[in-house]
Amino acid sequence: MKTTDLIDSFSEFKDFKNIDRETLMHILEEVFRTALAKRYGSDDNFDIIINIDKGDLEIYRNRLIVEDGQLTDDKREIEYSDAIKIESDFEVGEDLSEPILLSEFGRREILAIHQNLVSKIQDYEKSLIFQKYKDRVGEIVIGEVYQPWNKEILVLDEEKIELVLPKSEQIPADRFRKGDTVRAIVLKVELKNNNPVIILSRTSPIFLERLLEAEVPEIYDGLITIRNIVRVPGERAKVAVESYDDRIDPVGSCVGMKGNRIHGIVRELKNENIDVINYSSRPDVMIRRSLSPAEISKIVINDETKCAEVFMEPDQVSLAIGKGGHNIKLASKLCGYEIEVYRNTDEDLDDVDLKEFSDEIDQWIIDVLINIGCDTAKSVLALPKDELLNRTDLEEETIDHVIEVLKAEFDEE
Q: What's the pLDDT tens digit per position in 143-174?
A: 999 999 999 999 999 989 999 999 999 999 99
The fold of the 136-201 domain, in CATH, is: OB fold (Dihydrolipoamide Acetyltransferase, E2P) (2.40.50)
pTM: 0.69
pLDDT of residue 1: 40
- In this predicted model, what pLDDT tens digit does every residue of 197-221 receive, in sequence order? 999 999 999 999 999 999 999 999 9
pLDDT of residue 199: 97
pLDDT of residue 336: 93
- Average pLDDT of the chain? 86
- Domain with residues 3-131, CATH architecture: 2-Layer Sandwich (3.30)
Is residue 21's pLDDT more than 80? no
Percent of the chain with pLDDT over 70: 92
DSSP string, 168-234: GGS-TT----TT-EEEEEEEEEEEETTEEEEEEESSSHHHHHHHHHHH-HHHHTTSEEEEEEEEETT
- In this predicted model, what pLDDT tens digit does every residue of 169-183 receive, in sequence order? 999 999 999 999 999
So where are the chain's domains? 3-131, 136-201, 354-412
Look up residue 282 and give its amino acid. Answer: R
Residue 284's nearest CA partner among 321, 339, 346 is: 339
More confident of the two residues 106 and 247: 247
Domains 3-131 and 136-201 share a fold: no
d(CA 11, CA 29): 15
Q: Three-state DSSP class for 370?
A: helix
Highest mean pLDDT among 60-64, 110-114, 232-236, 379-383: 232-236
- In this predicted model, what pLDDT tens digit does every residue of 263-291 receive, in sequence order? 999 999 999 999 999 999 999 999 999 99
